[in-house]
Structure 1
Amino acid sequence: MKSIATAAAAIALLSAAPAAAETVAVTADRLLDVESGRYVEAPVVVIVDGKIASVTPGGEVPEGAAHIDLAGHTLLPGLIDMHVHLDGRPEYGGYSGLQFTDQFWSAIAVSNARAMLDAGFTTVRNLGDTDYRVIGVDQAIGEGWLVGPRIVTANHALGATGGHCDETFLPPSYGAKSPAAADGAAALRAAVREQRKYGAEVIKACATGGVFSRNTAPGIQQLHADELEAIVDEAHFWGLKTAAHAHGADGIKAAIRAGFDTIEHASYADDEAIRLARQNGTYFSMDIFNTEYTLSQGAANGVLEENLAKERSLSQAQRDNFRRAHEAGVKMVFASDAGVMPHEDVGGQFRVMVEYGMSPIEAIRAATVNAADALGQAGQVGVLKPGAWGDMIAVDGDPLADVGELADVDVVIKGGELVN
C-alpha cells in the first residue's frame, strides 16, 4: 500500500508541475492587419501555448521555437462564418435524408467541421442542429479526438409550433416535433434554459417563416413581440448572445426591437428595418451566395418545388437589400448558411459580397473583426495581435486586390498548429 501511495503522490506532483510552454513562430512575406487595412511586411508571429504573444515586423524567430515558414504568402486571421449547420448537407434535400439512420448526421457533422477548417474558417457559429450533435463534435474537438474549428453552437433553434424551426415535413402520425418549438413567453424562456443547459452559447429563434420548411412563408412573422422579448431577456440574463432568423420586414423589425444581437437572412429588410438596425447596432448576417447552389443543384438534390419557388422569390431581394444595408452603415458579418450549400465552398461568398457593394477589406472584416465582435469574442479571434488565439490562414496572392483568393486558401493554422 505504501508503494502505491508513494507512486500516486509522485503522479500528483508531476501533474501539478507547469508544462513547458510550446512556442511556435510563423513567418511570411506579409500580414494583413484587418483593423487598419494595411500590410505588415516580413512579420514574425510568435505563438505561445496556442495564443499570440507578439507580432514583429522584420523580427527574429526565437531560439528553440518551432518555425512555420510561409515564404511567398500573405497571412490573415482565421476566418469566421456566423451561420452554419454542420449536421446537414445540401445533397440530401426534401425527403431524401429520411433514408439514413439518425446518427448518420453526426458523422456528417464531423466531416463538415473538418471541411470548414480546411476552407480557412477557424471559428464557426452553428445556428441550429438536431439531437445535440454539434455540441458533441465541439466537445470531441476540444478533447483532441477530432480536428475542426472553434464552434459556437445554438443547439436546437427555438420557434413556434408549426413554424420554420419546428418539424413541418411529416404527418401527425409520426409525432415529429422539434424539442425547442414552444408557444408563449414562459415556454420560450424555458426553452432558452434547456438549450443553455446542454452547452448552447448563442440562442437562435425563428421570427419568420423560411425557405426550407413546409407551410411557412418567409415574409410572415411567426413569433409575437412579447415572445421575442422573452427569448432575448432570458438569453442575455444567462450571458448568451441571440440570433433571429428573419426574412420578412415585420419580423426583422420586431426582432431588432426585442434586442436580438444578429438578424439572420434579413431578406426583405425595408427602410425602417435598416434604420432600426443602424440605430441599435444590430448586425445583419446575410447569406447572399448559397442561392446560386440551391437554384442550380436543388432540384437534382431532392429539394421540393415549394422550397425552390420561395428561394427564387427572395434571392435577388436579399442581395439588393445587402447592398442597401451596407450603404446605410448597418454592421455586417459573414454568414453562409452552410448546409444549404457545401461547407467546403463557402469562401466563394467573398466575391459576391464585393459584387454587391463591399470593398475587399470590408468583406474580410465581416468575416474577422466584425464577426468576433458579434460573437462577444473581440480580441480573441478574428485578429492577429497579442492575446488572440493563434488562428490564421495564408494565401499566395493579394486579397485586397482579389478577394477571390479567400475561396482557396493555401495554409490553415489553428492555435499555432498547422492543420492544412
Structure 2
Amino acid sequence: MPPTRPVLALSLLAVLPAAGAAELTAVHCGQLFDARNGRLVADRTVVIEGDRIRSVQPGRTGVEGARIVDLSGHTCMPGWTDLHVHITQESSPARYAEGFRLNPEHFAFRAVGYAERTLLAGFTTVRDLGGTIALALRDAIAQGQIKGPRIHAAGKSIATTGGHADPTNGYNRELSAALGAPGPTEGVANGAEQARQAVRQRYKDGSDLIKITATGGVLSYARSGDGPQFTEAEVRAVVETAKDYGYHVAAHAHGKEGMRRAILAGVTTIEHGTYMDEEIFRLMKQHGTWYVPTISAGRFVAEKAKIDGYYPEIVRPKAARIGAQIQDTFARAHRAGVKIAFGTDAGVSYHGDNADEFVFMVEAGMAPAEALRTATIHAAQVLGTEDEQGTLEPGKLADIVAVPGNPLEDITLVRKVDFVMKDGVVYRQP
C-alpha cells in the first residue's frame, strides 16, 4: 500500500516553498469546467493557499513563491462527490457469509483501501449511506491518519422490522432468539416514537445525516424489493426529528408507494427510484426532492445475477429484475425535469469505478456537462455545502480533479483521472 502521506513528483520538489513560507500552489489548467454554468473556459490558473482557492486567473499566471502544477493539456474540474457509497464493504459472492465469520476490524481495514481507491478516482467527497465503521473512517481521514475522501456518514440505516436494513434478516430462529429483536438503538423502528428515538440514537452515534430504507431492497435477504416499509407517519417522525439536529434524510426506495410516502414526508433525496412514474416525477418536482439514481449498482447487480451462486437464490431474481431498470428510470426522470445528483451505490459495485456513472448518464441522454454538474454543484446543494464545494471559485476548498483532453467531447475521459487534489494536497498527478 502507498505511504499514508501524498508524495509529490520529483519534478515539483524544486519549486516547493521554503520552510516557513506561505504554502502556495499555482495549477495551470488548459481548460477549466465552470460547474455553475456548465461550460468550459480556456487557459486558467487556480491559485491555492493552504487548503483554499485564493484566486482563479486567466492565462498562465505566475505566482511568486508558488509551486507550479502544469495541467495545460488537461481539463480541471471541482473534486467530484458521490452521494451514495458504502465505503466499508464491497461486492463479493462471500459477502453474506462474511458477516458471520469476520469481525468489524476486518471490514475496517478493508475500508482503508476502498477509501484510497475512491479518492484516487477523483472523488474528494462521499456520502456513506449505512454502516457504523464509516463514522470512525470519516474521523481518521479528517485527522490525516489515512488517505480518502471527505465523508458525510449516515451511520446505521433506519429500517422497520424485517425491512431492508434490519440487521437480523436471514438469521435462523435460534440465532434470532439469542440476539433478541433489534430496536431503535440498532436502527430498527416501528411507530413514530421509535422512529424519533432511532434518529436521536444516530445523533448520539455522531452521524452526519439520516438514511431510511423506505422500501424493500435488492440485496437484503428478503423476498420483496419494492414494497413500502414505513408508514407516512413514521417517515414524517424521522424527517421532523432529523431537522431538529440539522440533518437531511436520504430515502432508499425502489417501489412507487414507498417513494410517495417519503416525498410527502419531506425527505431530501430518493435513492435508486426504480419504479418511478409520472406521478412520482410530478411530486418530486413539486416538493423539490432530489433523485440519486445509482445506475452503476443497477447494471452491476443485473450482470452478477446471471452468475450461479453469486447471490443467494432469494436475492437473484430481484437483482435481475430491478437492477436492469434503473438506467431507463434515470432517462425518464431526466426528461421529466427531476433534480438529479450523482450517486453510484459503490460497495454494491466496485470502489474506484465510480466515474462509470457519468458514462451511464450520458448513454441515457444527459449532456456531459450536466452529468458533471450532478457530481459537483448539485451534490454540494444536496449536502448544503455550496459555500465550500462544488465550483472552482475563490474561498472554496481546494478540491480539484483533472483528466487529459475534453470530457464534454468524450465523457469516457472521466475514467482516466490523473490529477487529484483535496484540501490543497496533491494525491495523484501525471
Matched, 1:226 2:226: no
Equivalent of residue 381 in structure 1, options 389, 397, 403: 389
Q: Specify the SS of the correspondent of 1:305.
A: coil
CA distance in 1, matches of 2:161, 2:323: 26
Task: Supply the AA of the counterpart residue of 2:297.
Answer: N
Q: What letter is aligned with 2:316?
A: L
2:144 is the alignment partner of 1:125 = no
Q: Does 1:392 align with 2:393?
A: no
Is 2:291 aligned against 1:284?
A: yes
Partner of 1:16: none
Structural mapping, 1:106-145, within 5 Å: 106-129=108-131, 132-145=132-145
Pick the aligned partner of 1:318 from 320, 326, 337.
326
Matches of 1:336 and 1:343, distance apart in 2: 9
- Corresponding position of 1:11: none
Is residue 203 from structure 1 mapped to residue 217 from structure 2 by the alignment? no
Q: What is the match of residue 251 of structure 2?
A: 244
**1:9-408 matched pairs, under 5 angstroms:** 21-91=22-92, 92-129=94-131, 132-167=132-167, 168-175=169-176, 177=182, 179-297=186-304, 299=307, 302-408=310-416
Match of 1:4 in 2: none
Paired with 1:339 and 1:301, the residues of 2 have a C-alpha distance of 19
Q: Secondary structure at the match of 1:350?
A: helix
Moved more, 273-282 or 175-184: 175-184
The worse-fitting range, judged by mean Cα deviation, of 148-157 and 57-66 is 57-66
Describe how 1:3-14 pairs up with structure 2 within 5 A: none
- Is the alpha carbon distance of 1:22 and 1:300 closer, same or farther for their aligned partners in structure 2, counting shifts above 3 Å? farther
- Offset of 1:349 from its aligned partner? 1.4
Q: Quick one: distance in 2 between partners of 1:314 and 1:335?
A: 17
For the residues of structure 2 that align with 1:26 and 1:373, how far apart are their CA atoms? Answer: 26
Q: Secondary structure at the match of 1:42?
A: strand
Structure 1: how far apart are the matches of 2:387 and 2:295?
Answer: 27
Paired with 2:399 and 2:73, the residues of 1 have a C-alpha distance of 19
Asked whether the 8 Å contact 1:87–1:105 carries over to 2, the reply is yes
SS at match of 2:47: strand
Residues 58-104 of structure 1: per-residue CA shift (max 9 Å, x gap):
15232112222223111011111000001111023332453323311
- SS across alignment from 2:355: helix
Q: Is the 8 A contact 2:290 2:340 kept in 1?
A: yes
In the alignment, the residues of structure 2 paired with residue 47 and residue 245 of structure 1 have an alpha-carbon distance, to the nearest angstrom, of 38
Q: 1:300 to 1:293 in 2, by over 3 A?
A: farther
Retained in 1: the 8 A contact 2:301–2:323?
A: no
Determine if contact 2:215/2:254 at 8 Å carries over to the other structure.
yes
* Stretches (4+) displaced over 3 A: 96-99, 175-178, 295-302
Shift of 1:171: 1.6
Asked if the contact 1:185–1:227 (Cα under 8 Å) also holds between the matched residues in 2, the reply is yes
Q: Contact 2:218/2:322 (CA < 8 Å) preserved in 1?
A: no
Q: What TM-score does the superposition give when structure 1 sets the normalisation length?
A: 0.92
8 A contact 1:115–1:343 mirrored in 2: yes
Counterpart-to-counterpart distance in 2, 1:203 and 1:36: 31
How far apart, in 1, do the equivalents of 2:415 and 2:278 lie? 32
Partner secondary structure for residue 103 of structure 1? helix
Q: Distance in 2 between matches of 1:310 and 1:218?
A: 6
Structure 1, unaligned runs of 5 or more: 1-18
CA distance in 2, matches of 1:136, 1:30: 37
Deviates more, 1:157-166 or 1:309-318: 309-318
- 2:378 is paired with a residue of what secondary structure? helix
Secondary structure of residue in 1 paired with 2:320: helix
Does the 8 Å CA contact 1:163/1:216 hold for their aligned counterparts? no
Give SS of 2:315's match.
Answer: helix
Q: Which amino acid aligns with 1:309?
A: P
**Larger CA deviation: 345-354 vs 173-182:** 173-182
CA distance in 2 between partners of 1:419 and 1:264 (Å): 30
Q: Which residue of 1 aligns with 2:4?
A: none
| Secondary structure, aligned partner of 1:346 | coil
Aligned-residue offset at 1:316: 3.3
SS of equivalent residue, structure 2 residue 294: coil
Point out where structure 2 has 5 or more consecutive residues left out of the alignment: 1-19
Deviations 1:241-292 (CA, angstroms, capped at 9, x unpaired): 1100111000001100000000011110121111000111100111112233
Once structures 1 and 2 are overlaid, which stretch shifts more, 153-162 or 343-352?
343-352
Deviates more, 1:184-193 or 1:37-46: 37-46
Q: Distance in 2 between matches of 1:93 and 1:203?
A: 24
Q: What do residues 155-182 of structure 1 show as CA deviations (whole Å, max 9, x unaligned)?
A: 0000101111102121232245470111
Secondary structure of 1:332's match? Answer: coil
Please give the per-residue CA displacement for 1:8-47, whole angstroms capped at 9, x wherever unaligned. Answer: xxxxxxxxxxx86422221121111122222222211111
- DSSP 3-state at the match of 2:354: helix
**Could you tell me how far 1:211 is from its partner in structure 2?**
0.5
Q: Tell me how many residue pairs correspond in the alignment.
A: 400
C-alpha distance in structure 2 between counterparts of 1:417 and 1:229, whole Å: 41
State the shift of 1:294 in Å.
2.3
Name the SS of the counterpart of 2:372 in structure 1. Answer: helix
SS of 1:292 mapped into structure 2: helix
Q: So what's the TM-score if we normalise by structure 2?
A: 0.89
The answer to whether the 8 A contact 2:401-2:421 is kept is yes
Q: CA separation of 1:240/1:20 partners in 2, compared to 1, >3 Å: closer, same or farther?
A: farther
